[in-house]
Amino acid sequence: MKRSVNAPAKINLSLDVLGKRDDGYHEVKMVMTQVDLSDRLDLQRRGDGLIKVEMSEGFLPADQRNLAYQAAALLKHRFSVTWGVSIYIYKNIPVAAGLAGGSSDAAAALKGLNDLWELGLSMDELAVLGAELGSDVPFCVYGGTALATGRGEFIEQIPSPPPCWVILAKPPVGVSTGDVYKKLKINENQTSHSDLMVEAIYHNDYAHICRSLYNALEQVTLSIHPEISRIKERMRDSGADAAMMSGSGPTVFGLIKKEAKLNRVYNALRGFCDQVYAVRLISEKEA
């Protein structure tokens, strides 16, 4: 018995950090949406009870450090599953990029194994389990576009933004999310940019969405890796309607409404970094 599941990347249209929690996490409020750059998980049921993970990229862990492996182990333990699974992950999403590639793989594994192992769990139940694996996993379980609160695990789905192109550009640097949060100075009296983004989306106002892009982590990551700022400037100078870093970085995304500008922005970025992608937002229907 086999299943294949797509695992789309996400971008943060807004990311507010509201404060530090007693459990060590940060309280956040953010609007996330998916783009059509996806990993693919092929799952095959095993009769020996083992969990085996293989990757198209050899430098990535395929053992207990892998989030898809952890998702399988969580379901197997929690529901006393006797089946095993072989998981092959075709990686297309850049690694450690602020695009939730690992979290999306975990969500895809949860959904695929729910079917493959005939567990009969609801999306809400899968999202609760996903929160045990990582803060972005519940959003990736639901997909589409959502307002996320708490440490990211509370999800309120909202309409998709109006259709547009998205350019993703990842510079060849690594970013530690933990280090970024440690260096962040929190302004607890700031305006909720996520509320402004939700309002813009409900009004289907593309120009307002572009004006409302915000990432509280961006200035911290830019201070460590100034090349990210240069990518943003190049995106805007070459025709992107707006540009912002996603998550804790280092990937920068640019929004483009008119397809005629797409190649110009794409080609301008190709000279800056090797990992550049031209993708689209995933609509509500696709999600």
Catalytic residues, by residue number, are: 10, 136
Contacts of 47 (CB under 8 A, 6+ apart): 83, 84
* CB 265 within 8 Å of CB 167: yes
- The shares of helix, strand and coil residues in the chain, as percent rounded to the nearest 5, are 35, 30, 35
What strands, in cross-sheet order, belong to the sheet with 252-256? 242-245, 252-256, 165-170, 275-280
Report helix, strand or coil for 118.
Answer: coil
- Cα–Cα distance measured from residue 244 to residue 222, given in angstroms and rounded to the nearest whole number: 11
- Cα–Cα distance measured from residue 26 to residue 178, given in angstroms and rounded to the nearest whole number: 10
Report helix, strand or coil for 20.
Answer: strand
Report helix, strand or coil for 203.
Answer: coil
Query: Is omega for the bond preceding 250 within 30 degrees of 0, making it cis?
Result: yes
Residue type, 93: I
Nearest one of 31, 92, 27 to 246, comparing CA atoms? 31
